[in-house]
Amino acid sequence: MTPERERRASELARRYPQAKSALIPFLQYCQAQDGYVTQQAIRDAAEMAGITPSEAESIASFYTLLFKRPAGAHKIQVCRTLSCMLRGADELQRHVRQRLGLASGEASPDGRFYYEEVECLAACDRAPCLQHNLEFHYDVTPQEFDRLLDEWRASEPAVSMPAE
Protein backbone atom coordinates (compact mmCIF):
# COMPACT_ATOMS: atom_id res chain seq x y z
CA MET A 1 0.00 0.00 0.00
CA THR A 2 1.34 3.45 -0.88
CA PRO A 3 1.95 5.91 1.96
CA GLU A 4 -0.88 8.12 0.65
CA ARG A 5 -3.32 5.21 0.70
CA GLU A 6 -2.13 4.18 4.16
CA ARG A 7 -2.91 7.68 5.43
CA ARG A 8 -6.36 7.64 3.83
CA ALA A 9 -7.06 4.13 5.12
CA SER A 10 -6.14 5.22 8.65
CA GLU A 11 -8.34 8.33 8.42
CA LEU A 12 -11.31 6.33 7.20
CA ALA A 13 -10.86 3.46 9.66
CA ARG A 14 -10.88 5.92 12.58
CA ARG A 15 -14.36 7.13 11.55
CA TYR A 16 -15.96 3.76 12.23
CA PRO A 17 -16.21 1.41 15.21
CA GLN A 18 -14.75 -1.36 13.01
CA ALA A 19 -12.19 -0.87 10.25
CA LYS A 20 -14.20 -3.19 8.00
CA SER A 21 -16.92 -0.52 7.85
CA ALA A 22 -14.49 1.74 5.95
CA LEU A 23 -14.08 -0.79 3.13
CA ILE A 24 -16.50 0.79 0.63
CA PRO A 25 -15.39 4.39 1.26
CA PHE A 26 -11.78 3.28 0.86
CA LEU A 27 -12.54 1.49 -2.42
CA GLN A 28 -14.39 4.59 -3.65
CA TYR A 29 -11.28 6.61 -2.83
CA CYS A 30 -9.07 4.15 -4.74
CA GLN A 31 -11.47 4.18 -7.68
CA ALA A 32 -11.34 7.98 -7.79
CA GLN A 33 -7.54 7.76 -7.97
CA ASP A 34 -7.22 4.90 -10.46
CA GLY A 35 -10.41 5.24 -12.50
CA TYR A 36 -11.65 1.82 -11.36
CA VAL A 37 -11.11 -0.67 -8.54
CA THR A 38 -7.83 -2.40 -9.30
CA GLN A 39 -6.69 -5.70 -7.82
CA GLN A 40 -4.13 -3.70 -5.84
CA ALA A 41 -6.97 -1.61 -4.38
CA ILE A 42 -8.75 -4.83 -3.35
CA ARG A 43 -5.58 -6.05 -1.61
CA ASP A 44 -5.07 -2.66 0.07
CA ALA A 45 -8.70 -2.56 1.22
CA ALA A 46 -8.44 -6.07 2.63
CA GLU A 47 -5.30 -5.11 4.54
CA MET A 48 -7.00 -2.01 5.95
CA ALA A 49 -10.14 -3.92 6.95
CA GLY A 50 -8.35 -6.96 8.36
CA ILE A 51 -10.05 -9.39 5.97
CA THR A 52 -8.87 -11.58 3.11
CA PRO A 53 -8.65 -10.20 -0.43
CA SER A 54 -11.37 -12.65 -1.52
CA GLU A 55 -13.71 -11.26 1.16
CA ALA A 56 -12.95 -7.71 0.00
CA GLU A 57 -13.56 -8.77 -3.61
CA SER A 58 -16.92 -10.36 -2.77
CA ILE A 59 -18.07 -7.23 -0.91
CA ALA A 60 -16.86 -4.90 -3.68
CA SER A 61 -18.54 -6.96 -6.40
CA PHE A 62 -21.95 -6.36 -4.81
CA TYR A 63 -21.88 -2.58 -5.39
CA THR A 64 -22.80 -1.37 -8.88
CA LEU A 65 -20.91 1.91 -8.46
CA LEU A 66 -17.58 0.15 -7.99
CA PHE A 67 -16.10 -0.76 -11.35
CA LYS A 68 -13.59 -3.57 -11.92
CA ARG A 69 -12.50 -2.21 -15.30
CA PRO A 70 -11.99 1.31 -16.60
CA ALA A 71 -15.41 2.88 -17.06
CA GLY A 72 -16.28 5.96 -19.06
CA ALA A 73 -16.86 9.40 -17.58
CA HIS A 74 -20.59 9.04 -18.34
CA LYS A 75 -21.76 5.90 -16.53
CA ILE A 76 -25.20 4.90 -17.77
CA GLN A 77 -27.05 2.15 -15.92
CA VAL A 78 -30.46 0.91 -17.03
CA CYS A 79 -32.63 -1.09 -14.65
CA ARG A 80 -33.42 -4.64 -15.76
CA THR A 81 -35.81 -5.83 -13.05
CA LEU A 82 -39.42 -6.87 -13.55
CA SER A 83 -41.14 -3.52 -12.99
CA CYS A 84 -38.93 -1.80 -15.52
CA MET A 85 -39.19 -4.67 -18.01
CA LEU A 86 -42.99 -4.59 -17.82
CA ARG A 87 -42.87 -0.90 -18.70
CA GLY A 88 -40.46 -1.07 -21.63
CA ALA A 89 -36.93 -1.45 -20.26
CA ASP A 90 -36.13 -4.17 -22.81
CA GLU A 91 -36.88 -1.75 -25.66
CA LEU A 92 -34.90 0.98 -23.90
CA GLN A 93 -31.93 -1.35 -23.35
CA ARG A 94 -31.86 -2.35 -27.03
CA HIS A 95 -32.04 1.32 -28.03
CA VAL A 96 -29.25 2.35 -25.66
CA ARG A 97 -26.99 -0.48 -26.82
CA GLN A 98 -27.61 0.49 -30.44
CA ARG A 99 -27.08 4.24 -29.89
CA LEU A 100 -23.91 3.78 -27.85
CA GLY A 101 -22.62 0.79 -29.80
CA LEU A 102 -21.89 -0.92 -26.49
CA ALA A 103 -22.97 -4.13 -24.81
CA SER A 104 -23.77 -4.15 -21.11
CA GLY A 105 -20.53 -3.83 -19.15
CA GLU A 106 -18.58 -2.09 -21.92
CA ALA A 107 -16.89 1.30 -22.14
CA SER A 108 -16.53 3.29 -25.33
CA PRO A 109 -13.04 3.33 -26.88
CA ASP A 110 -12.74 7.09 -26.22
CA GLY A 111 -13.49 6.56 -22.52
CA ARG A 112 -16.49 8.88 -22.47
CA PHE A 113 -19.32 6.36 -22.01
CA TYR A 114 -19.90 3.19 -20.05
CA TYR A 115 -23.14 1.19 -20.28
CA GLU A 116 -24.47 -1.41 -17.89
CA GLU A 117 -27.77 -3.16 -17.23
CA VAL A 118 -28.24 -3.40 -13.47
CA GLU A 119 -30.63 -4.79 -10.92
CA CYS A 120 -33.24 -2.64 -9.26
CA LEU A 121 -32.63 1.09 -9.11
CA ALA A 122 -35.54 1.42 -6.63
CA ALA A 123 -37.82 3.44 -8.88
CA CYS A 124 -40.43 0.83 -9.74
CA ASP A 125 -43.23 3.41 -9.77
CA ARG A 126 -41.36 5.45 -12.41
CA ALA A 127 -40.18 2.64 -14.67
CA PRO A 128 -38.26 2.32 -16.84
CA CYS A 129 -35.49 4.02 -14.94
CA LEU A 130 -31.87 4.76 -15.68
CA GLN A 131 -29.06 6.27 -13.71
CA HIS A 132 -26.44 8.55 -15.23
CA ASN A 133 -23.57 8.71 -12.75
CA LEU A 134 -25.58 9.53 -9.60
CA GLU A 135 -28.53 11.22 -11.31
CA PHE A 136 -31.76 9.26 -11.81
CA HIS A 137 -34.04 9.59 -14.84
CA TYR A 138 -37.56 8.20 -14.69
CA ASP A 139 -40.14 7.05 -17.25
CA VAL A 140 -37.37 6.99 -19.87
CA THR A 141 -38.41 6.31 -23.44
CA PRO A 142 -35.98 5.79 -26.33
CA GLN A 143 -36.75 9.36 -27.46
CA GLU A 144 -36.01 10.72 -23.97
CA PHE A 145 -32.75 8.76 -23.93
CA ASP A 146 -31.74 10.37 -27.24
CA ARG A 147 -32.39 13.82 -25.76
CA LEU A 148 -30.33 12.97 -22.67
CA LEU A 149 -27.53 11.48 -24.76
CA ASP A 150 -27.28 14.69 -26.79
CA GLU A 151 -26.92 16.64 -23.52
CA TRP A 152 -24.29 14.25 -22.18
CA ARG A 153 -22.29 14.30 -25.40
CA ALA A 154 -22.16 18.10 -25.25
CA SER A 155 -20.88 18.25 -21.68
CA GLU A 156 -18.75 16.79 -18.98
CA PRO A 157 -20.67 14.80 -16.35
CA ALA A 158 -22.72 17.14 -14.15
CA VAL A 159 -22.68 14.71 -11.22
CA SER A 160 -19.38 13.19 -10.24
CA MET A 161 -19.06 9.75 -8.76
CA PRO A 162 -18.46 9.62 -5.00
CA ALA A 163 -14.90 9.86 -3.80
CA GLU A 164 -15.87 8.16 -0.54
Give residue 130's domain range: 74-153
Same domain, 121 and 89: yes
Same domain, 144 and 94: yes
Same domain, 19 and 56: yes
Q: What is the DSSP letter of 61?
A: T
pTM of the full structure: 0.75
Separation CA 15–CA 106 (nearest Å): 35
Total structural domains within the chain? 2
Same domain, 106 and 140: yes
CATH of the domain at 19: 1.10.10
Q: Residue 162: its pLDDT value, please? A: 57
Please return the burial class of 7, using the count of CB atoms within 10 Å of its CB with bins 0-12, 13-18 and 19+. Answer: exposed
Separation CA 37–CA 48 (nearest Å): 15
Q: Residue 139: its pLDDT value, please? A: 95
Same domain, 143 and 110: yes
> What's phi and psi for 111, nearest 5 deg?
80, 10
Same domain, 86 and 148: yes
Q: Residue 164: its pLDDT value, please? A: 53
In a domain, 159, yes or no: no
Same domain, 15 and 55: yes
Alpha carbons within 13 A on the beta-carbon side of 32:
13
Helix (H, G, I), strand (E, B) or coil at 70: coil
In a domain, 134, yes or no: yes
Q: Residue 149: its pLDDT value, please? A: 96
In a domain, 37, yes or no: yes
Same domain, 146 and 87: yes
Instruction: Tell me how many degrees the CA angle 3-22-48 measures, rounded to the nearest 5.
Output: 45
In a domain, 131, yes or no: yes
Please report the beta strands in 6-157, taking only residues with DSSP state E, as ranges in sequence order.
Answer: 74-79, 106-107, 113-118, 130-132, 135-137
Yes or no: say if 4 and 140 are a contact pair by the CB < 8 Å rule. Answer: no
Last residue in a domain, options 36, 60, 84: 60
Q: Residue 15: its pLDDT value, please? A: 93
Q: Residue 158: its pLDDT value, please? A: 53
Q: Residue 104: its pLDDT value, please? A: 93
Q: Which residues of the chain have pLDDT under 70?
A: 157-164
Same domain, 48 and 97: no
Same domain, 80 and 54: no
Same domain, 109 and 85: yes
If residue 45 lies in a helix (H) or strand (E), which one and from where to where? helix 39-49
Instruction: Please report, as a single letter, which amino acid is at residue 22.
Output: A
Helix (H, G, I), strand (E, B) or coil at 121: coil
